[in-house]
Structure 1
Amino acid sequence: METGEEFGPWLARQLKLAGKTQAELAEELGLTRAAVSAWITGRSTPRPTVMADIAKALGTDLGTVHTRTTDTQAGLPVTWYHRPGYPDGGRELGNAAAFAFDADVQVLARETCQNSLDERLTENGRPVRVRYTLHELTGEHLDAFRDAILWNDLFPHYSAVSELAGNQKVGRVVDAGVRDMYEKGRLVLLRVDDYNASGLTGDDYADGKFAAVVRRQLESLKSGRSAGGSYGLGKATLWATSALGLVLINSTLSVPHEGRTERRMIGRLELPWREVDGRTYAGPAWFGRPDPDSPGAEVARSWWADEETVARLYLSRDNDEPGTSFLIVGAHDVASLEASTSDLDDEIVEEEKDEDTRDIRRMHKRLVQALGRDFWAAMTGGGGRLPLLEVSVRALRNDGEVVVEETKVDPSVEQPARTRALRAYYEGTTVDRLTESGQVAARNVPLKLPLSGGAAGGTLGTHQAVLLVTEAAGDNDRPINQVHSLRGNRMTVKKATVPRLPIGTNPFQAVLLAGEAAGQTAPFAKEAEEFLRAAEPPEHDRWSQTEELTLRWSPSAYRRIEGLTKEVNNAIRELVARPKRSNREGGEALRKALTVKNRPKAKVPTGPVIPVLNGLDAKIGEAGEWRITAEISIPRGDEIVPMVPVALLDVRSGGRPKLDWAELEAVEGCEVEDGTLRFAHGVRRATFRGATDVTSHPVRTVLTRLVLELRAGKGE
């Protein structure tokens, strides 16, 4: 028989829930108050014959008193607590942290998987296992779930928010989510389970992981250098992905709380300010058991649920391994509409025909893509090193009907070239230079670390990051000639294309292992890990100047990262360059067989010449930006006019809106200087690349057409 919490703490909590004192229980049992006090303090335990009387007094069965794996159902029932409106009249029309991210399952995958990596239990050496389950409910299954979450109690609050929909963004999202559920008779749940993780440990209110996730905003308790998160923003993606603003949580703890570890339950609802039945509410609400110690016993706290309740809420876990299950209620994937249709199967996406943001097949596909793209290195092992992560995705309907079979994300399928490179490094089979197909070249590149505390120009030491380069075999459908940069937790942080490659370079892929990813024994690995973590913005998608980098190091600290990037690009160009052939190699016989007649040289026009746009390749990037590669032809002349590339949106009438450039780089035959293309004398053609700044786009990129112009002078 399973035995849970110690009898004393368990009994004390049941008395609180039942609203009984020790004296009242003693009177019902016909015993002294001292006897009950001795049970609660652990000095003694009741005789078996008294257990039945205790069960009767608490309104429960004898088995519950013996096992103590759940609370009794007597006293205060599980309910919703809505935070009252502020007495000073202040209003919050949504959680600001949620606006830092799009309602995008690929963003959700990146943030939640990163959190699971950070919470991995390292003592046993095993990977953290994460599973994403998409579950569509219809008919009686939907009705039963709504009953389980007390939907009738929530509906007046959703109705009040819908009335504000015309004036407020969160209100419009919630209104659309409720209407979709009623009009289409379906609700999509997205559950994220992790195993071999710490779980939401700690008290309901005091400092701890539970309070940081469930009670607070912008708090991160991750102290490890290699942790991915540091802002406390990532958890907001859970609520941002819910069209109803509702997330339910079931956690199995690695450290007991109240003597228990399994089925710690809580729910949190994120709504804007609202007025219901003449009473105002501030925004958030919690689903739990009323805390008898709170004023009026109104505040809801976590509770220890029974297995039946967990199953009704679709939060049953596979086993008793520590970890947490997050259930996103009303999951939607708005950003999927902006995804390039070329990245998805034809049967999943029909252009402009089915804009269903709740299509679980489409969401399954995008989850697998994102997890393979961002966490391939964490899922790769070799040479005695175990992977840090295992991930799978599945899609179900109603009572377990399989819509899409569970897919285990395989890094060798999602990123074949880079996985090959990392395994070769782990197994010690890298080479100094690429001479044969399938080889992986390794080279150390320096990162000069600055002194902390703002000491200008000082250097703490040089960290040797590891660069891996291999041919892009098997990466036919993926961007080539890119570097994936990562640090200790092995999540891809930065993806960048190598500029100014020699003409005819064979396609390749590269990996940069920095910080503790380069190995615990790498020089200054710990210091590099700390420095690079501080250089990551909340999205953790690049290394650049941040406020933390400025405060802890200096305003010019980012130049050390620019120096690393320059070293990496130079090393790659050298590794992938083709060996030069002798000018005379194979040429003597050819020269003897040819007769060359001298022709008069064409007269070079005098005066300035204007370069002309000759070719353009454009596509929409992962962040919704326009990414272009442009080719320019240049007439003969003794002076070439500098040109300014200008990105515009095509419109039916009026002036074309101008877009800002986020990136602009020369590839061949030109240089970029303050947004202007300058050309060397005698150049006949040139190539450059660019990416627009998404913040300058007035509408969604997928709904626009791009116009690129070359303008002389200052581009006005």
Structure 2
Amino acid sequence: METGEEFGPWLARQLKLAGKTQADLADELKLTRAAVSAWITGRSTPRPTVMADIAEALGTDVGTVHTRTTDTQAGLPVSWYHRPGYPDGGRDLGNAAAFAFDADVQVLARETCQNSLDERLTENGRPVKVRYTLHELTGEALDAFREAILWNELFPHYSAVSEAGGNQKVGRVVDAGVRDMYEKGRLVLLRVDDYNASGLIGDDYSDGKFAAVVRRQLESLKSGPGAGGSYGLGKATLWATSALGLVLINSTLSVPHEGRTERRVIGRLELPWREVDGESYAGPAWFGRPDPESPGARVARSWWADEETVESLHLTRENEEPGTSFLIVGAHDVAGLAANSSDPDDVPIGEEEGDEDTRDINRMHARLVEALGRDFWAAMTGGGSRLPLLEVSVRALRNGKEVVAEQQVDPSVEQPSRTRALRAYYDGTTVSRLTEAGQVAARNVPLKLPLSGGAHGTFGTHQAVLLVTEAEGDRDGAKNRMHSLRGNRMTVKRTVVARLPTNTNPFQAVLLVGEAAGETAPFAKEVEEFLRAAEPPEHDRWGQTEELTLRWSPSAYRRISALTAEANNAVRELVARPKRSSSEGGEALRKALTVRTRPKAKTPTGPVVPVLDGLDATVGDGGEWQITGEVSIPRGDEIVPMVPVAQLDVRSGGRPRLDWAELVGVEGCEAENGTLRFTPGARRAKFRGTTDVTSHPVRTTLTRLVVELRAGKGSDA
């Protein structure tokens, strides 16, 4: 029979949980206290027959005593521990770390996915798998969950915060979260699971990953220069995304603790200072088993939960692979509402801004997929001998039933041009200059690493790798941009390449620095450390920081500026049209890379491209877009078939594409498999279309529609 923890430490903890002494156990077993002491200290172990008596004394079964892979259920029950107010009267009106981030699921995705990448187990070579699950609870499912988290114990604390909220941001957010749950009878959970990760290893209180995440603020134990995090702030996004300030955790450990690895459970609540029943509380609270070693057995520590408990808390993991599940209770996405609605009048009558729409699981699903594809496309890309570091999926449930199918984030769909460029580099198929469509040009760009400690001179020269390829459609987002990344392959910096030559063909560029350029690249590890110090808490740029100044010098950031300038110059050279000394070279490049040019005024002798010059759109009773499009067709020998594409207009990133429920030709054209084929000789055409409501990521009344005509055939457009 497989055993877990050593018998002595296990028995000592069970006695504390049961509120018994060694003498009490000795009396119940009719043995000497010295015998029990010998078991505790490890000098001896009890005989099998005595094991049964110990089990009876502890109120458990003999199998638990033999295996010791869990605590007995005797003793103090799981409860909430609220940190008492400070004796000196000080008050914390919220966790300052959480104020560094907005309530934004896209920020949450960036920070949590970065943390999972940093905790990936590298020995097996497999990627870390991260799954985001949005889950809306109503009715009986909501009641059962509130009972599982002991809501009645928490409610007086929420009431105190709401009543004292006033001008406090935290108080207003909490009050809105509680009101939404009661008035609308729903609660949104957002769960982040990772697999093939280290898990929250270490003791509850001493130095370790568990204490760094659950007990402490501003502590980062990230190891290795390639790690993304460095400030210990990223975990605060979990609580910032919860309107109730509540996160539950279930971790499967890669290194056993107390002889166990599975279902290590704890909860943490972040509220401001409050008074409840005449007693003041400092802010945070923990959900766990009271620690008998703490004063009055009040402090809650993690416990090893059974399967039934984790199921009631919506924390069941899909397998025994190491990693951690974070459950954000009362998830909302205030920043997402602002990003999707530029006009405050877009909020429907009868609803307050930031109310219902901040908890729309369909919209949050779409924004998560967009952010993960934009920021982690490179980590999800493999090729040659380089394997992907990351797999990510997003799904949405309502009362346990799937409402948005699990979607695997595909980098070749979300960022097709950049993914093609990175794969070409991994496969060794890059070229020195672009001469044909689909090619990827590569060039080395130097980064001169300064000496540390403010000394003058250069420690060494690292060769970053620049990749440039033509832009492919709109999925890459804005064109003529450069994404810069280092070892964990998360996009750190997104910049516009300025001062481009006239008539430059649209392109996308990627700059691989540090270990992203290859672990054997000169000074790769040193560059990782240098650039990591140059990143702010958001990890969205490289520049002057206090860390960079203290460890290198006030002018160290100029080395990064020089790298950017060198990379921009290299891009300009690679995308510039070469002078056409012969008809072959210049004409070949023009045909290969110039896309979607309008036909000239003169009547062409080849194919002509129809143009959409009129559009009428209304919203149907079922929430679908109903459009009528008018098309102008130039004179020509052949009319190119066109594909109408319906998209939602967004402020940034790729536009979400809608499916057609119906597409028909009305005049001068016929619709076939989503493609309009025009009548020969026609100068004008008309078509009608109705969008498929199930493909809408956002409620129609809060969106703006964009319709384009693209040359191509169906999915190729």
Partner of residue 697, structure 2: none
Q: How does 1:410-429 map to 2 (within 5 A)?
A: 410-429=410-429
Q: Distance in 2 between matches of 1:555 and 1:7?
A: 57
Question: Which residue of 2 is the match for residue 580 of structure 1?
Answer: 579
CA distance in structure 1 between the aligned counterparts of 2:254 and 2:16, rounded to whole angstroms: 26
Partner of residue 587, structure 2: none
Query: What CA deviation, in whole Å up to 9, does each residue of 1:452-471 have, x standing for no partner?
Result: 10124x11121110000001
CA distance in 1, matches of 2:650, 2:80: 47
Distance 1:549 1:444 in 2: 25
User: What secondary structure is seen at the aligned counterpart in 2 of 1:532?
Assistant: helix
Residue pair 1:417, 1:475 contacting (<8 A) in 2 also: no
Q: What amino acid does structure 1 have at the position aligned with 2:264?
A: R
Query: How many angstroms does 1:292 deviate by?
Result: 1.0
C-alpha separation between the residues in 1 aligned to 2:124 and 2:466?
Answer: 30
Distance (Å, rounded) in 2 between the aligned partners of 1:477 and 1:108: 21
SS of the residue corresponding to residue 395 of structure 2 reads: strand
Q: Corresponding residue for 1:320?
A: 320
Change in CA separation of 1:60 and 1:310 when aligned onto 2, cut-off 3 Å: same
CA distance in 1, matches of 2:567, 2:474: 21
What CA distance in whole angstroms lies between the structure 1 residues aligned with 2:187 and 2:59? Answer: 36
Aligned residues of 2:204 and 2:210 also touching (Cα < 8 A): yes
Correspondence for 2:53: 53
In the alignment, what sits opposite 1:566?
565
The alignment status of 1:335 with 2:335, answered yes or no, reads: yes
Which residue does the alignment assign to 2:11?
11
**Secondary structure in 2 matching 1:339:** helix
Distance, in Å, in 2 between the alignment partners of 1:547 and 1:368 is: 34
Give the match for residue 434 of structure 1: 434
Can you list the C-alpha shifts for 1:614-653, whole angstroms capped at 9, x where unaligned? xxxx99557xxxxxxxxxxxxxxxxxxxxxxxxxxxxxxx
Counterpart of 1:714 in structure 2 is: none
In the TM superposition, residue 581 of structure 1 has moved relative to its aligned partner by: 2.9
Q: What are the equivalent positions in structure 2 for 1:55-94 lying under 5 Å apart? A: 55-94=55-94
- For residues 3 and 584 of structure 1, the distance between their equivalents in structure 2, rounded to whole angstroms, comes to 79
For the structure 1 residues 340 and 581, does the alpha-carbon distance in structure 2 shift closer, same or farther, using more than 3 Å as the test? Answer: farther
**1:133-152 counterparts in 2 under 5 A?**
133-152=133-152
Q: Distance in 1 between matches of 2:581 and 2:345?
A: 54
CA distance in 2 between counterparts of 1:293 and 1:502 reads 71
Deviations 1:412-469 (A, max 9, x none): 111111111001000100000000001000000011111110124x111211100000
Distance (Å, rounded) in 2 between the aligned partners of 1:155 and 1:340: 33
Say yes or no: does 1:120 pair with 2:115.
no
How much does 1:584 deviate?
11
How far residue 290 of structure 1 moved from its aligned partner, in angstroms, is 0.9
The one-letter amino acid paired with 2:375 is D
Distance 1:583 1:195 in 2: 57
2:189 and 2:330 in contact (8 A); partners too: yes
Amino acid at match of 2:378: A
Report the CA distance between 1:65 and its aligned residue. 2.7
The DSSP-based 3-state class of the residue aligned with 2:326 is strand
- 8 Å CA contact 1:9–1:259 kept in 2: the answer is no
**In the alignment, residue 445 of structure 1 is paired with which amino acid?**
V
Matches within 5 A, 1:499-514: 499-514=498-513
Percent identical among aligned pairs is: 86
Q: How far is 1:272 from its partner?
A: 0.2
What's the counterpart of residue 494 of structure 1?
A: 493
Shift of 1:339: 1.4
Which residue in 2 is equivalent to 1:286?
286
**AA partner of residue 531 (structure 2):** L
Residue by residue, what CA displacement relative to the aligned partner does 1:226-277 show, whole Å, maximum 9, x if unpaired?
A: 0000000000000000000000111111111111111111110000000000
Output the CA distance in 2 between the equivalents of 1:584 and 1:308.
75
1:713 maps to none
| Aligned match of 1:352 | 347
Unaligned runs of 5+ in 1: 343-348, 586-617, 623-701, 703-716
Quote the residue 2:553 is aligned against: 554
Match of 1:532 in 2: 531
TM-score by length of 2: 0.79
Post-superposition CA distance 1:370-393 (Å, at most 9, x none): 101000000111102111111111
Q: CA deviation at 1:69?
A: 2.8
CA distance in 1, matches of 2:3, 2:184: 45
Q: Which stretch of structure 1 is more off in the superposition, 229-238 or 27-36?
A: 27-36
SS at the partner of 1:111? helix
Any idea what SS the aligned residue of 1:556 has?
Answer: coil
2:477–2:652 Cα contact (<8 Å) kept: no
How many residue pairs were aligned? 585
The structure-2 alpha-carbon separation of the partners of 1:350 and 1:583, relative to structure 1 and needing over 3 Å to count, comes to: farther
User: Which string of whole-angstrom CA distances, capped at 9 and with x for unpartnered residues, describes residues 518-556 of structure 1?
Assistant: 111212111111111111000000001000011111111
CA–CA distance in structure 2, aligned partners of residues 477 and 537 of structure 1: 25
| Aligned residue number for residue 168 of structure 1 | 168
Measured in 1, the distance between the counterparts of 2:96 and 2:576 equals 49
Asked if the contact 2:418/2:476 (under 8 Å) is kept, the reply is no
The whole-number CA distance in structure 2 between the counterparts of 1:203 and 1:71 is: 16
In 2, the alpha carbon distance for the partners of 1:584 and 1:362 equals 51
Q: What amino acid sits opposite 1:367 in the alignment?
A: L
Task: Confirm or deny: 8 A CA contact 2:414 2:476 kept in the other structure.
Answer: no
Task: Summarize the Cα distance change of 1:584–1:305 in structure 2 as closer, same or farther, 3 Å threshold.
Answer: closer
Show CA shifts across 1:555-591 (max 9, x none). Answer: 1111111101110110000000001235999xxxxxx
1:390 and 2:385 matched: no
Residues 165-204 of structure 1 mapped to structure 2, 5 A cutoff: 165-204=165-204
Shift of 1:68: 2.7
Aligned ranges 1:692-711 → 2 under 5 Å:
none
Q: 1:226 to 1:584 in 2, by over 3 A?
A: closer
User: CA-to-partner distance for each residue in 1:399-420, whole Å, 9 max, x for gaps?
Assistant: x200111111111111111111
Q: Which residue of 1 aligns with 2:482?
A: 483
* Kept after mapping to 2: 8 A contact 1:134/1:191: yes
Aligned counterparts, 1:606-621, within 5 A: 620=651
The question of whether the paired residues in 2 share the 8 Å contact of 1:415 and 1:475 is answered with no
Structure-2 separation of matches of 1:248 and 1:581: 64
Structure 1: how far apart are the matches of 2:64 and 2:518? 51
User: 3-state SS of the aligned residue for 2:357?
Assistant: coil
